[in-house]
Amino acid sequence: MRQVYPVFIAEDGKFFLVYIPDMELYTQGTSMSDAIYMARDIIGLHGIAMEDDNEKLPEPSTSEEAMEKAKANTRVMDFSQGILTFVDVDFAEYRREQENRTVRRNVSLPNWLNTAAEKAGINVSAVLREALKKVLGKESAN
């Protein structure tokens, strides 16, 4: 499901501070494009965590409603003086990206086994990945 949420961005020295009023989230970026990227990322992460907890995603506010929320919440700064923009997030796509991203894991092996694998030119990560798929009976995250 794709949603479009209002986002406030305010420049504060060298950073672009971000406030997402519908989710009470804050983040920052080093540029305007980075701030928008970070807003999409935090909305996506928070949204899929809410779904995992069987919570309903908040309905996106209108511009007017978002402005009211920004004026009422000056805990960090008055974001209503910043730029109001909108950021879209496709939560299903975001979930797929997160589930299929590569995760680095440390694996302990006896030295003799590691040495033998290196000599044989075996990619230990690929062998482990295939073995886990076989043991779990899965080819993908779904």
Tens of pLDDT along 31-59?
A: 999 999 999 999 999 999 999 999 999 99
pLDDT of 83: 97
* 92 and 36 co-located in one domain: yes
* 51 and 119 co-located in one domain: no
* 140 and 80 co-located in one domain: no
* 18 and 86 co-located in one domain: yes
pLDDT of 104: 86
* 48 and 80 co-located in one domain: yes
% of the chain with per-residue pLDDT over 90 = 80
The C-alpha atoms of residue 42 and residue 28 are separated, in whole angstroms, by 10
* 74 and 140 co-located in one domain: no
* 37 and 82 co-located in one domain: yes
pLDDT of 142: 60
Could you report the per-residue pLDDT of 112-142, keeping only the tens digit for each? 999 999 999 999 999 998 999 999 998 776 6
Distance (Å) of CA 62 to CA 36, 85, 86, 101, 142:
18, 11, 10, 33, 35
Looking up residue 80, the CATH number of its domain turns out to be: 3.30.160.250
* 77 and 128 co-located in one domain: no
* 139 and 112 co-located in one domain: yes
* 18 and 48 co-located in one domain: yes
* 80 and 110 co-located in one domain: no
Verdict on whether the full-model pTM lies above 0.85: no
pLDDT of 110: 94
Residue type, 52: D
Question: Domain residues for 94?
Answer: 2-100
How many structural domains comprise the chain?
2
DSSP 8-state code for residue 28: E
Residue type, 104: R
DSSP 8-state code for residue 82: S
